[in-house]
A and B are shown apart, each in its own frame.
Chain A
């Protein structure tokens, strides 16, 4: 017997507590099972790429903070690297090391939020977030020390940093780095074999290796599916080739694997920071090239870094004037949503929220 049921359209978002901002899905349900889903974007489309054309190169740095606002330092770094490549500005050694330290701290902070809100979506309302924010505040304090801001740092400049780190920064960082593994162990103790978490996430939202590659997924999404692709290793930028670290990978590509990859990456970041602190040279943190009103030679450049969400790329076209002719941002969160349909269709609504949480998107970067 063929049973026909009437499908129902359910609108999830844009103002919904588990859509991480203003994301909207138009899901078609059959009973409680999702049979089709269409992501709808644009509720935070602020036209950042257009604004770049109206600003000088340097004036655009604060706007990159607001792309992926959970990892502002990483965005600063990616943009500065793109302009440095375009205009061939050298970066002093010490600045490179401090940049790496900042980027890795930011990766920890971003993954903390990602894991926290993922667990939030699994149903442990607010409690995990309280734990994760406790650690994140420590990182935010470190950032505040160097840049004076809590969320939008605007710390990097072309050819280095806006200023050197203050004297009390390194001891504070050392203290944090010593504490962090303990906290991570605590989370593992609470979560790794947690019966409820396993039941909710194991085998849920499987993304196969082939689909992940075909859909241009990057970051923990791709690594969770078992592809060891990390730009820090595959295409080492800055001084990453001097550090030792592993690329954690999942096996099955389900939500649990993605969560595990994030936690393991935090450990690797701690490792990198520790090595960077040991090797940190003394010297200037900014090259002598004047950068206030640079006019890069006409040309184009694509430069990418491994941001916490995946491959963050900046495509800049210069026509020799003080403003970029075109600035395109490859937002990893945006492209990671390509495979949303594959992952969600066939699951119940409650699972869809968990799967969606495991993608870890930030709307500022999705809509730009």
Chain B
């Protein structure tokens, strides 16, 4: 059984290593500061005992006030998982650091989020529309996009 590491448990240790990186925690997730996302993710990936080597899925949710990007991390070696969350309050020009350097699996998913949700991932090698065509107006996955 994959063990879901509790956010609070993990956050205590992380806060010491990278101060100011954690904004909030819940039972199964940690909410991370935008600026320290990269360093925190690198830490999660390499720290012995954690070794989250597998990025299952990335999602973005539009909550009107802010966008939330959700990373599902798993460790194939230790068989445990954690959920990372990042928030982005700028609606006009949302941007978040890209994790492609750490997990290549993020590449297509981040591109898809850029296309459908309009969040720019900084540092992504190929940030352009992927499923819709160039010239499509709007980002359909946003809540205020009306499909018809």
Contacts and interface: CB of A to CB of B under 8 A. Distances in A.
Interface residues of A, number: 37
A234 B56 CA distance: 14
A353 interface: no
Contacts of A53: 143
Contacts of A234: 2, 79
Interface in B98-122: 103-109, 112, 116
Given A42-B133, A213-B53, 11 more contacts: A41-B130, A42-B131, A47-B140, A50-B140, A216-B54, A235-B1, A300-B61, A302-B57, A302-B83, A317-B61, A328-B61
A225 to B, nearest CB: 12
A30 interface: no
B55 A49 contact: no
Contacts, number: 83
B93 interface: no
Interface in A1-51: 41-42, 45, 47, 49-51
Given A49-B141, A311-B56, A54 B103 contact: no
B62 interface: yes
Interface string A323-336: 00110101000110
Interface residues of B, number: 33
A187 to B, nearest CB: 31
A313 interface: yes
B56 A313 contact: yes
A214 interface: yes
Contacts of A339: 104
Tell me which of B1, B57, B141 has the highest count of chain A C-beta atoms within 10 A of its own C-beta.
B57
B147 interface: yes
A47 B138 CA distance: 14
Given A229-B76, A313-B72, A326-B62, A338 B105 contact: yes
A157 to B, nearest CB: 25
A320 interface: no
A203 interface: no
Contacts of A47: 140, 147
Given A50-B147, A315-B70, A367 B140 contact: no
A144 to B, nearest CB: 33
A300 B132 CA distance: 27
Contacts of B103: 214-216
